[in-house]
Amino acid sequence: MTEAEFAEGFRYLPGYLDAEAQAALVAELRALLAEAPLYRPTMPRSGRPFSVRMTNAGSHGWFSDKTGYRYVTHHPKTGQPWPAIPAAMERIWAEVADYPAGPECCLINFYEPEARMGLHRDEDEETFAAPVVSLSLGDSAVFRLGGAQRRGPTRSLKLHSGDVMILSGAARRAYHGVDRVLGGSSRLLAQNGWPDGGRINLTLRRVTRPAGEAG
């Protein structure tokens, strides 16, 4: 499967982080989660819990509850500000985003083997000129990417530990999701303090529009 077969603006960088860099980032995330623990958000209106647990780093954290989707500045359980975005993720953004301003949110999703993420668009931000940059750690997952219409055609690919994916241009507002996690496909988390393994996905986003950028 090639990049050209997906929406314009989609980029896939397999194995962007090597094993040593992945292990170092997992160790950093363990310390971050002690400060901003994983929690399970709920869907708007229905209040149904997500199958993934999540937390955030940065000045803005993505959040969902019965009242809707939005960004908040403090952890919903601890009441504390979100911790800083890991330096390794800041470096990835600087290397691949091709955008003049830095990220403001690093959404951290933890997938157990049964977890899924339905088709959705990232559209709670002020600016769509900035890309969404995603890093996978741990178990592989089947990722699905479509277009501007929820019921339009989609294509799938497997994302593996260390892979980076960029959604920009038309792909920035394309529907996408995770169909399934391939439990046991990686030993990264189990060997670095997560005995039950799983998958971590880190997503970098710019939330506010930088000064001077057209609306």
Q: Convert the pLDDT of each residue in 5-42 to its tens digit.
A: 677 899 999 999 999 999 999 999 999 999 999 999 99
- pLDDT, tens digit, for every residue of 108-154? 999 999 999 999 999 999 999 999 999 999 999 999 998 888 888 88
H or E stretch covering 26: helix 19-35
CA-based nearest residue to 153, from 144, 143, 141, 163: 144
Quick check: 194 pLDDT over 70? Answer: yes
DSSP 73-102: SB-TTT-PBPPPPPHHHHHHHHHH---SS-
Q: How far apart are CA 40 and CA 18, in angstroms?
A: 30
The residue to which tokens 């955030």 are assigned: 56
Cα dist from 18 to 38, 94, 95, 160, whole Å:
25, 18, 15, 12
Give the model confidence (pLDDT) of 153-179 as tens digits: 889 999 999 999 999 999 999 999 999
- Pick the more confident residue, 203 or 127: 203
Q: What pLDDT sits at residue 114? A: 93
Given this model, what pLDDT does residue 151 score?
81
Averaged pLDDT for residues 45-73: 95
pLDDT of the residue at 91: 98
User: In this model, does residue 97 exceed pLDDT 70?
Assistant: yes
Span 174-191, pLDDT tens digits: 999 999 999 999 999 999
pLDDT at 213: 82
Predicted pLDDT of residue 33: 96
**In this predicted structure, what is the pLDDT of residue 30?**
95
At residue 45 the predicted structure's pLDDT band, cuts being 50, 70 and 90, is confident
Give the bridge partners for 74, in sequence order: 81
Domains of the chain, earliest start first = 3-205 (2.60.120.590)
What local confidence, expressed as pLDDT, does residue 3 receive? 54
Q: 98-102, 117-121, 161-165, 197-201: which range is least confident on average?
A: 117-121
Q: What is the DSSP letter of 3?
A: G
